[in-house]
Amino acid sequence: MDRLTIIKVGGKVVEEPESLNMLLDQFVKISGYKILVHGGGRSATQIAAKLGIETKMVDGRRITDNETLEVVTMVYGGLVNKKIVAGLQARGCNAIGITGADLDLIHAHKRPVKDIDYGFVGDVDDVNSDEVRLLINENVTPVIAPLTHDGKGNLLNTNADTIASEIATEFARYYSVYLFYCFEKKGVLLDAKDEDNIIYDLDYDLFKKCQSEGIIKEGMIPKLDNGFRAKKSGVKEVLITNHENISSGRGTRLI
Amino acid sequence: MDRLTIIKVGGKVVEEPESLNMLLDQFVKISGYKILVHGGGRSATQIAAKLGIETKMVDGRRITDNETLEVVTMVYGGLVNKKIVAGLQARGCNAIGITGADLDLIHAHKRPVKDIDYGFVGDVDDVNSDEVRLLINENVTPVIAPLTHDGKGNLLNTNADTIASEIATEFARYYSVYLFYCFEKKGVLLDAKDEDNIIYDLDYDLFKKCQSEGIIKEGMIPKLDNGFRAKKSGVKEVLITNHENISSGRGTRLI
């Protein structure tokens, strides 16, 4: 099977021109087929504030009322996504920027209200890769914004880490998939105070042990849960790294 | 050659839920391959105002400084485009929302500064339809936002009427292209006070005569210039109509 590398980058990297340029320089060096999945939360929060819309977060997830949905649609699907596409085109990489609504790529349903009403937040039902694979096989690079749709005309705000692992799992049926989660550190740290003390090989038992000891915490936990799930579903390699290391492949490898 | 209908709709139609729904209901009834090109100027102006950015227009064209470029990228490429895509998906039409940067569809250059500095406004150089045709032939419907790129990483704000005629001209090499310009009236009016007094068949001489007599004026002039240029370049039919008539094909036909 052909190699397909899926890179998920958080908002911070893609929202600042300098780190975005560094990311894109590294990204185009990756050989084989590629997909970029991006966030954009900081810009969304900033623009919402300028528009007088208050941002409410619960456990790191954005409460997405109707106005907030408009903001994330603009920011993720427009501003951040199209800047990346233009930047990749300038580097000779034929990119296409899409959301989960485009090509019916990712179907989701509005998260049911239990203790918290997250609003227009989508939980993924299924991924339809048919037309996207057609493009990939023509050497087109999809750039995916973290939005899905419910098939009834509603866009839904969906966590970018989850989108990356769902996409990776679906594409693993057709390609040898390498999934890289990029964040600020070089990998998962054994000691938060020592940036170089990286866990190079992380298995599920060690992850759970580190979690119970509080070494691995907060946003890293769902990221790793997503990563191990993807690995179990046939994704060849899952790597936690930063955007400077995506072409070398250094970081924390899930085993 | 297969039939391809290209519909250009202005901002007003796509920005109000009621007229957008009516448009999309009509649009999906069109048989054969389809492309939708949209504007979004009113929303851009509104959101710019909320963000404290002043909108400056010269001859109906938006002066696009860096901040305004961010607004139109968000609004055209994100908000308006993705709402249309989700609405089409809900109607069983497999849409993909793109700009001229995606798939390297439309190359443009920043308009040279003469009397007026339009800022990041693009004049079209060429259209590359290769990958978009691949999608169309799979029954995918492209929804195109009025943005182009310069190949150096810059997005450019580009008139949607121009994009529609440029796209139509390129695709006329491969398809039998029907280009419909939708606006508020049922067609080009002989008498602005009589909404039903439509010119059904308009040739170039009559256009120029009506223009010199002030019967055809303002924004309709560049629209018709674009339309006649497209017709001359191999587009099978150019129709000026409103969004309620796109499936019936009534309106002003350029001959």
Q: What is the DSSP string of B58-71?
A: ETTEE-B-HHHHHH
Measured distance CA(B145)–CA(A140) in Å, rounded = 19
- Quick one: how far is CA B89 from the chain centroid? 20
Tokens coding A78 = 């427009």
| A149-159: pLDDT as tens digits | 999 999 999 99
Cβ–Cβ below 8 Å for B51 and A51: yes
Cβ–Cβ below 8 Å for B151 and A75: no
Count other C-beta atoms under 10 Å from residue A103's C-beta: 26
The average confidence (pLDDT) of chain A is 94
Binding-site residues from annotation of A? 40-41, 62, 157
B10 torsion bin: left (phi>0), alpha (psi -120 to 50), beta (else): beta
> What per-residue confidence (pLDDT) applies to B153?
97
| A30-70: pLDDT as tens digits | 999 999 999 999 999 999 999 999 999 997 789 999 999 99
ipTM entry: 0.95
| B55-111: pLDDT as tens digits | 999 977 899 999 999 999 999 999 999 999 999 999 999 999 999 999 999 999 999
Top residue of A85, A109, A128, A148 to mutate, by most chain B CBs within 10 Å, is A85
Cβ–Cβ below 8 Å for B135 and A131: yes
A82–chain B Cβ distance below 8 A for any pair:
yes
| B128-170: pLDDT as tens digits | 999 999 999 999 999 999 999 999 999 999 999 999 999 999 9
**Per-residue pLDDT averaged across B242-252, rounded?**
86
Report residue B251's pLDDT band, with 50, 70 and 90 as the boundaries.
very high
Q: What is the 3-state secondary structure (H, E, C) of chain A?
A: CCEEEEEEECHHHHHCHHHHHHHHHHHHHCCCEEEEEECCHHHHHHHHHHCCCCCCEECCEECECHHHHHHHHHHHHHHHHHHHHHHHHHCCCCEEEECCCHHHCEEEEECCCCCCCCECEEEEEEECCHHHHHHHCCCCEEEECCEEECCCCCEEECCHHHHHHHHHHHHCCCCEEEEEEECCCCCCECCCCCCCCECCEECHHHHHHHHHCCCCCCCHHHHHHHHHHHHHCCCCEEEEECHHHCCCCCCEEEC
- The 3-state DSSP class for residue B148 equals strand
A137–chain B Cβ distance below 8 A for any pair:
no
Cβ–Cβ below 8 Å for A82 and B101: yes
- Tell me B239's DSSP state: E
> Is the pLDDT assigned to residue B11 strictly greater than 80?
no
B135 closest CA partner among B108, B160, B102, B168: B102
Cβ–Cβ below 8 Å for B82 and A73: yes
Search chain A and give the residue with CA nearest B77. Answer: A78
Domains of chain A by start residue, with CATH: 3-50+71-106+127-149+157-254 (3.40.1160.10)
The average confidence (pLDDT) of chain B is 94
Measured distance CA(B98)–CA(A153) in Å, rounded = 18
Search chain A and give the residue with CA nearest B17. Answer: A153
Measured distance CA(A105)–CA(A131) in Å, rounded = 8
Measured distance CA(B10)–CA(B100) in Å, rounded = 17
- C-alpha torsion sign, points B185, B189, B194, B196: negative
Are the C-beta atoms of A213 and A225 separated by less than 8 Å?
no
Q: Environment class of residue B184 by beta-carbon count within 10 Å: exposed (0-12), middle (13-18) or buried (19+)?
A: exposed
B87–chain A Cβ distance below 8 A for any pair:
yes
CA distance B125 to chain A (A): 16
> What per-residue confidence (pLDDT) applies to B193?
86
> What per-residue confidence (pLDDT) applies to A10?
85
